Amino acid sequence: MRTPPRVLTVAGSDSGGGAGIQADLKTMLALGTHGMSVLTAVTAQNSLGVQGAWELPAEAVRRQFRSVVDDIGVQAVKTGMLATAELVETVADLLDGLTVPVVVDPVGVSKHGDPLLAPEALEVVRTALLPKATVATPNLDEVAQLTGVRVETEADLPRAAEAVLAHGPRWVLVKGGHLKDGDTAVDLLTDGTARHLLRAPRHDNRHTHGTGCTLASAIAAGLAKGRSVPEAVAEAKDYVTGAIAAGFALGGGIGPVDHGWRLSGDA
């Protein structure tokens, strides 16, 4: 019996099921990998926003990680919401012992603008977590948070990428989905030498909750399968573009992307 590639997500829970651990595991399953989880925080969250957030003790995070890694093993790791400086430091220390690819999604705020990372944790993300990343996947707000560089047009993407790379990740994917210019969503992937612009059509669909978690998890799934970073990112971009196009209304606010869009009869 074949054992699928194993991917570990270290992130917070979204009780509404659109982002966080829930989105990560759905993505990993849809892409043919076995998803496992280390829960860092619990949120009360729905389509309207985050109504509450409670981080777990560092020891609970440490024991979950060791429980999975020491017995089952992993072929890629994705990090998401880490909430506090102590949890960022804990996760960075745990990643020290691994030799597998790591995708760091430096989650700072939710889709609705709710803070998900303590201000004092930013410096720890810069100095302890980003250097562990095979790929870092900040959106434009997170680039500004981490580096102070503000991206207004596509021409600003290389400068933003350089600023993130200065903190140590091997590759950075600057997500340009929030740019207003043009009718395509453009992301820049670079390691400081190679440069890949990834374009996809913009879809007129407001139900995009979970896009960042989904993209980072899809990249981790690709890396676990042995794809190169450019291959994994390109495949993940295609997957999340389809998930955005199929995003659906849920509750009274912003609905989720459809993680199972390839599995439905409409795919």
Give me the helix-helix angle, 140-147 and 157-165, nearest 10°. Answer: 50
The rounded percent of the chain whose pLDDT value lies above 90 is 85
State the amino acid at position 16 in one-letter form. G
pLDDT tens column, 35-73: 999 999 999 999 999 999 999 999 999 999 999 999 999
Tokens of 14: 């979204």
Cα gap 145→97, rounded to integer Å: 28
- pLDDT, the chain, mean: 93
N- to C-terminal Cα separation, the chain: 28
pLDDT for 267: 43
When pLDDT is cut at 50, 70 and 90, the band that residue 77 belongs to is very high
pTM here is 0.95
- Per the CB < 8 A criterion, the answer to whether 244 and 211 are in contact is yes
* Of 38, 30, 34, 35, the residue nearest 12 (C-alpha): 38
- The alpha carbon of 137 is separated from its chain's Cα centroid by a whole number of angstroms, namely 6
Catalytic residues: 175, 208, 210-213
- Report in angstroms the alpha-carbon separations of 142 from 11, 125, 127, 175, 190: 16, 11, 15, 10, 17
pLDDT for 35: 98
Q: Which residues contact 64 (CB under 8 A, 6 or more apart)?
A: 37, 38, 39
Cα gap 235→94, rounded to integer Å: 28
When pLDDT is cut at 50, 70 and 90, the band that residue 112 belongs to is low
- Tell me whether residue 62 is exposed, middle or buried, using C-beta atoms within 10 angstroms of its C-beta: 0 to 12, 13 to 18, 19 or more: middle
Q: Are strands 49-55 and 76-79 parallel, antiparallel or unpaired?
A: unpaired
User: Would the pLDDT of 83 be above 50?
Assistant: yes
Tokens of 152: 């207004």
